[in-house]
Amino acid sequence: SEKLFMDMADRLAEDGWRELGYNYVNIDDCWSAKQRDASGQLVPDPKRFPRGIKALADYVHSRGLKLGIYADLGTFTCGGYPGTTLDHVEQDAQTFAQWGVDMLKLDGCYSSEQEQAEGYPRMSKALNTTGRPIVYSCSWPAYQGGLPPKVNYTILAEICNLWRNYGDIEDSWDSVLSIVDWFSAHQDVLQPAAGPGHWNDPDMLIIGNFGLSYEQSRSQMALWTVMAAPLLMSTDLRTISPSAKEILQNRLMIQINQDPLGIQGRRIVKEKFHIEVFLRPLSQAASALVFFSRRTDVPFRYTTSLAKLHFPGNAVYEVQDVYSGKIIGGLKTGDNFTVVVNPSGVVVWYLSPLAPPGRLLRQPGHRGGARPIVL
């Protein structure tokens, strides 16, 4: 109901979320009446949204936030409500703009491959024609398997701001792992497609719900951050636990996620003992490293060096542990170090180069020598 979305807007505005960049309140499926009106326009459910979507948008805007809405390029939405068939694309875009909507997720249930190929670009043009800035989230690639040749990421990047590549997330660790596995397996295709204004979307953060442990919650936040994923929470902010809130409000993690270069990270190491390492290049020659354990038994002591992770051979870094805040100064590329990674957990590092005067450091890219010094 409108009260739920107003409550969420209040929480975003009053509990420190808005200032960290969580500024969209997004309505998902099932918000509309079961029928369009006599003029063919979508109308909100009169019982749950008695004052209409425009009034809700006005309230959300009054709290310094933005409103997102859901539609489906098909006969029906996935939940069985009126869809946006091709003859309604322009009308619905105008309706959303008139209501003051700031983001549209366009799903793809009950539509054919041909209708999607025509409809997704057409909605992009229709949204732009309204003159209102509306972020456009496309589900198109998820319905076509997420990979070339059926999915053309060059075209997607031109018409969509973000897109769902893969299936819906569920409130479980297995679901998170399946998404990470798919994104890692196909990172050579997916990673180059992402950048400022056009993002791969592995689906929502489920931190704060029921399916993830504390360690798993920290892992999802870190893995989504290193994948340059849009951070879209799906949890009740009225009852969220302090620990989940602390994870979602980690300032350095959000800074890494929102890095202006917009380069999506990659998995660079997959060890046989179930430790994986992800690297994301950042602006100012900085980097983020995620050491991720798929183990379910005990904490694992993982020893490596920046040289083994292909950092420049002559570089020196200051390292900050993103979750603990601990700082390691003067870490040389060849220095061995050990991180202790909890089962299903992560250690996340933010690395800033300490460059000699007049010397530029390159981004991690080639192998250097190792010097066996344990920190």
- Axis-axis angle for helices 89-99, 113-130 (nearest 10): 40
Q: Phi then psi for 27, rounded to 5 degrees?
A: -85, 130
- Pairing mode of beta strands 66-72, 24-26: parallel
Tokens of 250: 């980690």
Paired with 341 in beta bridges are 300
* Residues with a known catalytic role: 107, 168
DSSP type of residue 227: T
In angstroms, rounded to a whole number, what is the distance separating the alpha carbons of residues 248 and 18? 12
In angstroms, rounded to a whole number, what is the distance separating the alpha carbons of residues 106 and 77? 9
Question: DSSP letter string over 164-198?
Answer: E-SPPP-SSHHHHHHHHHHHHHTHHHHGGG-BTTB
DSSP type of residue 82: B
Q: At residue 2, what is the residue type?
A: E
Residue 88 contacts residue 47 (beta carbons within 8 Å): no
- Pairing mode of beta strands 287-293, 346-353: antiparallel
In angstroms, rounded to a whole number, what is the distance separating the alpha carbons of residues 199 and 161? 6
